[in-house]
Amino acid sequence: MNDFARKLRLWGSAEVLLLIMSITFEGFAHAQEYLGAALPAPQSGIIFGGLIVLLAGAWVSTSQPNASHTINTSRSILVVALAWLLTSRFLHFISPAGDGWRWLTIGLFIVFCGLWWLKQPHWAVLLAVLLGCGIRLYLFSIKPIHPDLGDMQPLVLLALDKFTHFESPYRLYSMPWELPLTYLPITWLAYLPAFAAKSDIRLTNLIADLCIGATLYFLPAPQKQRKSLMLWWAFIFFIPIFSEYAQNATSQIFWLLLAFVLLALAHQRNGWAAIFLGLGLAASPFVAIAAIFIGLYWLKHYKWQQVAAWVGMIGVIVLGIVLPFVIVSPNEFFFGIFQWFNDTTLYSQKVWRVGYLGTQPSISVIFWNLNLQNWLKVVQIGLLSALSLIYWRQGAILKALPAFITAAFLLFVAFNTVVWIYYYFVAFVMGLFALAYRGLKASSQ
């Protein structure tokens, strides 16, 4: 009986966590569409924040060496069908009126169920990707890039305009509210090709999402596991929160770079992992969270001379990309990248005062309400230190790496001074790799 209970607990636990995370965040982000009313704030945000902490602990538990790596392909197709139901419910509110949408919803759900019955995972993935791409392009067409619909992409456009006119992009911009450039260079430079081609720069996000799926496909995992893994990626790619934030977020850039890092590590290409990690650190400070655990893995399993060489490569890449902008506008760079979000007397205090922070899944609002917000960074450092110690004592094995990174992102954001729901989405990508790494071939572990 105990053996049965152990197998029940271990089998498919990562898939269950991905499903719980997806439905939780989707329901919270679109409560108005699904429930007909907004969730009460800040009570609901605090409750969901507590759930996120529990989910982080659960991800750590999936990192155990004896965790199963079996993924049920047939059941995974049904998960993609569930994503279609969520998507159709969300799109009902932004689609043309009429019965056509209802019949399309039913028809496509029947198609997904038919693919499940016929055991055709490739066609399920293809259909989900085509629909997901179509939904994104539809959203791009009906929602222009405008500060009132989200200031992230407009900020990128302004930065690129300054850069292409040989001016420093690190400055205060008016939207008409004042906002500094808060992105490290690789993030906004990633949109330069689309900008130069005079295309919708949000196509870059779509390409990044598709490339993340490609990195999962090329992991050294058994063929059967790869099919199931692509279904789970299709599910994440397909759900409304990812489609919606593809139109106004910029985080997809560092997600993709982290995906490249984990792909390189899985193939034991540590030099390439260092290169992509350097690019990632030049794209977002959030990448430093993953870098901690990658560094611990290297220190545990490689000679210090090799680790020093890889760290040196990372340092050269980061400094080579970032330093020119620091030299040109040192004060503006520091203000936008570090001070704007981390100084509790600036932007974070503003969003707390107007109540925005209370509408997000977060524990940090409790600290703000108790005037303890200056302790948030201490808590974050303590949580990362604790996770790092656990990872090290478990042997810092490669197989467990993405699970710990997933947990670290969840905990870090839950206690961040500023929380927006899309900050958590990198945990979905890392969760996919946590699922994938369980099935790595022996030579890659």
Q: Which residues pair with 178 in a beta bridge?
A: 174
Tokens of 254: 């560092």
Q: What is the tens place of the pLDDT at every residue in 111-143?
A: 988 988 888 889 999 999 999 999 899 889 888
Task: Say how far apart CA 252 and CA 45 lie, in whole Å.
Answer: 24
Question: What counts of helices (H) and strands (E) characterise the chain?
Answer: 24, 2
Q: Which of 36-45, 70-79, 99-108, 394-403 has the highest mean pLDDT?
A: 394-403
* Length of the chain in terms of residues written: 445
Is residue 8's pLDDT more than 60? Answer: no
For residues 142-159, average pLDDT: 91
Return the pLDDT at 92. 66
Backbone angles phi, psi at 31, to 5 degrees: -60, -35
Return the pLDDT at 358. 87
Tell me which amino acid residue 52 is: I
Is residue 248's pLDDT more than 80? Answer: yes
Return the pLDDT at 304. 93
Task: Say how far apart CA 205 and CA 133 lie, in whole Å.
Answer: 11
Task: Say how far apart CA 393 and CA 406 lie, in whole Å.
Answer: 18
For residues 374-398, average pLDDT: 95
Contact (Cβ atoms closer than 8 angstroms) between residue 240 and residue 428? no
Return the pLDDT at 443. 47
Return the pLDDT at 2. 43
Q: By C-alpha distance, which of 236, 241, 239, 237 is closest to 28?
A: 241
Q: What is the tens place of the pLDDT at every residue in 252-296?
A: 999 999 999 999 999 999 999 999 999 999 999 999 999 999 999
Q: What is the tens place of the pLDDT at every residue in 38-70?
A: 788 889 899 999 999 999 999 998 877 655 555
Question: How far from each other are the two terminal CA atoms of the chain, in whole angstroms?
Answer: 31
Is residue 10's pLDDT more than 60? Answer: no
Residue-averaged pLDDT of the chain: 89
Burial group, residue 196, by CB count within 10 angstroms (0-12, 13-18, 19+): exposed
Task: Say how far apart CA 142 and CA 380 lie, in whole Å.
Answer: 39
DSSP reduced 3-state for 419: coil
Residue in the block written with tokens 């001074």: 417
Q: Which of 1-5, 80-84, 209-213, 244-248 has the highest mean pLDDT?
A: 209-213
Task: Say how far apart CA 420 and CA 25 lie, in whole Å.
Answer: 11
Return the pLDDT at 228. 85
Task: Say how far apart CA 156 and CA 144 lie, in whole Å.
Answer: 14
DSSP reduced 3-state for 329: coil
Task: Say how far apart CA 17 and CA 180 lie, in whole Å.
Answer: 36
Q: What is the sign, positive or negative, of the torsion defined by CA atoms of 131, 136, 137, 143?
A: positive
Tokens of 368: 């703000």
Return the pLDDT at 176. 82
Tally of CA atoms within 13 A in the half-sphere of 334 that contains its CB: 3
Return the pLDDT at 12. 44
Task: Say how far apart CA 423 and CA 418 lie, in whole Å.
Answer: 9
Tally of CA atoms within 13 A in the half-sphere of 387 that contains its CB: 32
Angle at 228 between CA 224 and CA 229, to 5 degrees: 110
Give this prediction's pTM: 0.93
Task: Say how far apart CA 10 and CA 5 lie, in whole Å.
Answer: 9
Confidence category of residue 390, pLDDT binned at 50, 70, 90: very high
DSSP string of 214-256, one letter each residue: HHHHTSS--HHHHHHHHHHHHHHHHSHHHHHHTTT--THHHHH
Q: By C-alpha distance, which of 113, 127, 41 is closest to 368?
A: 41
| Sequence-distant (≥ 6) Cβ neighbours of residue 60 within 8 angstroms | 387, 390, 403, 404, 407
Higher pLDDT, 297 or 247: 297
